[in-house]
Structure 1
């Protein structure tokens, strides 16, 4: 199904509610599966959601529209691009901070 587990990549594990549900399932002898996508953790990640859904739809032999996820991904890309531009811009000194000569 195109799922890749990269060698040498650190395994961060499954955390939060996802990890809790899997752990509780194991304690109560319940069968479970968890499909997760890689994200930075700072933003909602529609690309990761689409990657997980792509695997799931192939496995279940169903088709769904990814239009809304693709639109959201474009919005997130625009936001991150703007943030990178702001971060890369040289700082301009605040003219109010320059007190000049005081003697």
Structure 2
């Protein structure tokens, strides 16, 4: 494990939130917004290999992905720049992150993940746990996800590895409209639940503004596509008549 500590805070029963880029960037948007609102302080950087090198003025240098650890009171927030490309590397990074968590006495890990919603469906947040005894607690805040399926990447794998170490693991699964567009609205919904669970108060003004910008942009794009479609249909109809 390649890690650099800037300081080693002292905690009392800390919990950790961990997030990496995924669908709609929901996890990192949520975690980074919380970090900024709490003015959490950077205390460590964990480095993982990158499947590329960095080129500067004709000279190659090693390239690494950073996973940053911040703290505020008894909360640790880990935010990764990118997820590893292979299952083995995902597993190794999960082990490294949990090594840091356990070094500071963390007993509970929260992750955030995204799930596609149906077009007209109201966006919701669901809970997933890595121990059956957590179901009752989490169900007080959100419905428990039903059915079967995979949670890919670190936002899911981390909780599986945490279970092997007997650490509590909770994932908040937020529904999203678009997988390739930043999902600020869904991030707000997830953060509303997470902050209640952690008994933290923050405002969501900037998040709401970003959500409105994205939604307005999507409306404009859909409007233009509809106009193009109508013009195309009119042209085809005229050609058929002619």
Q: What TM-score results when the alignment is normalised by the length of structure 2?
A: 0.33
Give the equivalent residue in structure 2 for 1:32: 169
* Aligned 1:83-98 pairs, distance under 5 A: 83-91=221-229
Instruction: Return the index of the structure with the highest Cα Rg.
Output: 1
What is the CA–CA distance in structure 2 between the aligned matches of 1:50 and 1:12, rounded to whole Å? Answer: 24
Q: How far apart are residue 69 of structure 1 and its match?
A: 0.5
RMSD (CA atoms)? 2.5
Aligned to 1:97: none
Q: Greater strand share, 1 or 2?
A: 2
Q: d(CA) in 1 for partners of 2:213 and 2:197? A: 29
Paired position in structure 1 for 2:179:
41
2-side partners of 1:34 and 1:23: how far apart?
11
Aligned residue number for residue 159 of structure 2: 22
SS of 1:32's partner is: strand
Equivalent-residue separation in structure 2 for 1:49 and 1:30 (angstroms): 25
What TM-score comes out, normalization by structure 1 length?
0.70
Match of 1:54?
192
